[in-house]
Amino acid sequence: MTDRWVALMRQALELAERGRYGTSPNPMVGAVLLSRNGDVVGTGAHLRCGGPHAEIFALQEGAAQAAGGTMVVTLEPCVHQGRTPPCVGAILAAGIARVVIGPRDPNPLVNGSGVEALRTAGVEVVEGVEEEACRQLNRRFFHWIATGSPYVRLKMAMTLDGKLAARGGRSRWITSEASRREGYALREEYDALMVGVNTVLADDPRLVRHLALNPDPHLLRVVLDTSLRTPPEAVLLERDPQDVVIFCREGSPADRRKELEGRGATVVEVGDDGRGQCDLRQVLRWLAPHGASSVLVEGGGEVHWSLLREGLAQSVHAFVAPLVLGGREATPAVGGAGFASPQEGVRLRFVEVRRLEEDLVLIAEVERV
């Protein structure tokens, strides 16, 4: 039976993809319902936070043939009353005989109690099918639940010689339109965008979503700005300034703070990181309960360095253009003081390498710091 469960779990994983842009901070989940004699009679995906879970959609489709059947689902079904009723109750009411899952739900409100409730009621539970693929799909969710801190991905558009901008600071555009589009798609997946103040000063970015894939209009936009150098007239503050959070160090100029707050931004003071800049642990600790289970960092090199050095970034999504800008002064993809030897460096593992028009896309996960 194992091969069949694997094939069906892969189908459920594909279904889960439908929720990529809408479920945060919930996980993406897909489900396939089989009748007693093994025919697929229902499929479902969790599409948006607050909406029905995947199991419920599958049950709605195949309700008449669910009794004695099997539910294949990418994550342990929930037992708690959240924004929607518990799925275990619906599974039992439908008379399902077997539930096949990927991993257990790490959410402390579930974490094994869904499996236990099903087994207690006499339902056979098969665990751990395509477990790693299911975890990978929801790596942001697993990280956020396990650590209480947002999942952090660094997005960099760089040249073959590792520059984010040319000498003098100009960076538009290094990569192709297709790469920029993929970068915009990432913005639809993450709860917050983060940049350093030098990027605001150099590029005056809007940091908005362009593709309308995510039904939630709110995207937290975060600036790390030690002494509040963000200009009050920055384009960033023109639209939805209530979604802009500027982190500065304690004791920043009160008049600058007043001006930025006057434009509608939230200014949050954090401690010193020991190098005269914002303490990033405090920044992430503030963001987690303010709607950011995941953060996409869009530069520049100084912020990338700080997050990698502190062990606070989980992955890197790099677009590499076949372009060389050279220049000792040009912004590197990762700046800072640098490590003194390869042994001290941050070790990553490539999880995806592909071509995108003339560029390369490299996705890597941080293995150890």
Ligand X SMILES: NC(=O)c1ccc[n+]([C@@H]2O[C@H](COP(=O)([O-])OP(=O)(O)OC[C@H]3O[C@@H](n4cnc5c(N)ncnc54)[C@H](OP(=O)(O)O)[C@@H]3O)[C@@H](O)[C@H]2O)c1
- Residues known to be catalytic: 55
Q: Does 196 bind ligand X (CB under 6 A)?
A: yes
Check if the beta carbon of residue 354 is closer than 8 Å to that of residue 360: yes
Residues 6 or more apart whose CB falls under 8 angstroms from that of 243 comprise 218, 219, 220, 221
Binding-site member from 117, 129, 195, 364 for ligand X (CB under 6 A): 195
For the bound state, the minimum distance from the C-beta of residue 327 to ligand X, rounded and expressed in Å, comes to 12
Question: How buried is 34 (Cβ within 10 angstroms: 0-12 exposed, 13-18 middle, 19+ buried)?
Answer: buried
Q: Does 224 bind ligand X (CB under 6 A)?
A: yes
Residues 6 or more apart whose CB falls under 8 angstroms from that of 116 comprise none
Q: Does 260 bind ligand X (CB under 6 A)?
A: no
Binding-site member from 43, 198, 214, 230 for ligand X (CB under 6 A): 198
Q: Starting from the edge strand earliest in sequence, which strands make up the sheet with 359-368, in order?
A: 266-270, 244-249, 220-224, 192-196, 294-297, 151-159, 315-321, 359-368, 347-356
Which residue's CB is nearer to ligand X, number 78 or number 165? 165
For the bound state, the minimum distance from the C-beta of residue 63 to ligand X, rounded and expressed in Å, comes to 49
Which residue's CB is nearer to ligand X, number 68 or number 169? 169
Give me the amino acid identity at 22. Answer: G
Nearest to 114 by CA among 55, 48, 68: 55
x/- contact string, 164-183, with ligand X (CB under 6 A)?
Answer: xx---x-x--x---------
Q: Does 303 bind ligand X (CB under 6 A)?
A: yes
Cα maximum dimension of the chain: 72
For the bound state, the minimum distance from the C-beta of residue 175 to ligand X, rounded and expressed in Å, comes to 8
Alpha carbon distances (Å) from 94 to 88, 99, 111, 294: 10, 12, 23, 35
Count residues near ligand X (CB under 6 A).
33
Region binding ligand X by CB under 6 A among candidate stretches 18-26, 52-60, 162-170, 321-329: 162-170
Give me the amino acid identity at 114. Answer: G
Q: Does 12 bind ligand X (CB under 6 A)?
A: no
Region binding ligand X by CB under 6 A among candidate stretches 56-64, 90-98, 136-144, 154-162: 154-162
Binding-site member from 118, 278, 292, 325 for ligand X (CB under 6 A): 278
Q: Tell me which residues touch ligand X (CB under 6 A).
A: 156-158, 164-165, 169, 171, 174, 195-199, 202-203, 224-227, 229, 273, 277-278, 280, 298-303, 306, 331, 335
